[in-house]
Amino acid sequence: MSADTALTDPAMETFELRMPGGVLGRLFDRNGLIRRTDRIEAAVLALVMIISLVALPFAAAFGTAVYDSRRDALLSEAQSRHVVTATITEGQPDKRPPARIGAEPTDTKPVEARWFVDGMERTATVSAPETAKPGDPIDIWVNDAGEVVGPPPASVQAAVDGVTTAVVLWAGVCAAGAVVFALTRMVCDRIRSAAWEHDIDRLSQAL
């Protein structure tokens, strides 16, 4: 039989060795070449993926709870703060270091101010425009006790906290799963390597 005849003879059959597909495909594949360690590795990966998917709605629910809690806290905080008009009594010595050349100039300075809450006089050091002078009025934020506070945080902060919490929680679950799978693969690789060395030794002895 010539080489050309052999190449065109329909009776000639080709043999193709197919290795298993992806890691997950090894879990239910009946291919005899798949080892027990391959199935263990596939099972761990499937479990990690399932846990990651199941954790997603729980992370979202936890983030929603954080959002609701922060929203209520910010709302309560905003309701306890209000603006009052104070009167500048005197300026404070400017203890700030000299501005560097090219630095942006500041537009505020510390001053002593006086205001009244429920008929009681209050005084404190507050920030005022650079052009402010004694006797000028200035609006400041105070709490129910009449103490100087900052303006209430923006309500969007509650949404930011909720989303951040949900993302961090879910990312933590995924990262933990990735670590577990990586450790499983490392152990399985060592077992497979040891098995290969054992088989090679047996083959060498047989030869």
Total structural domains within the chain: 2
Query: Are both 68 and 162 inside the same structural domain?
Result: yes
For residue 28, what pLDDT is reported?
A: 57
Structural domain boundaries enclosing 137: 82-96+105-151
The residues pairing with 116 across neighbouring beta strands, listed in sequence order, are 121
pLDDT at 41: 82
Spatial neighbors of 156 by CB under 8 A, at least 6 apart, are none
Segment (H or E) for 34: none
Q: What is the pLDDT of residue 5?
A: 46
pLDDT at 24: 54
What pLDDT, on a 0 to 100 scale, did the predictor assign at position 146?
A: 82
pLDDT at 95: 52
- Series of mean pLDDT values for 10-residue runs along the chain (207 residues): 46 41 56 69 87 94 94 86 87 51 61 86 86 87 85 86 95 94 87 74 69
Q: Quick one: 68 and 86 in the same domain? A: no
Same domain (yes/no): 144, 171: no
Residue 4 located in a structural domain? no
One-letter amino acid at 94 equals D
Give the SS3 label for residue 189. helix
Q: Is 145 in the same domain as 169?
A: no
pLDDT at 27: 56
Q: Please tell me the number of Cα atoms within 13 Å of 205 on its side-chain side.
A: 6
Say what the pLDDT of residue 192 is: 76
- Hey, what are 38's tokens? 């391959």
* Residues 132 and 166 placed together within one structural domain of the fold: no
In this prediction, residue 12 carries a pLDDT of 42
Provide the pLDDT for residue 23: 56
Q: What is the pTM of this model?
A: 0.58
Domain with 116 in it: what CATH number?
Answer: 2.40.50
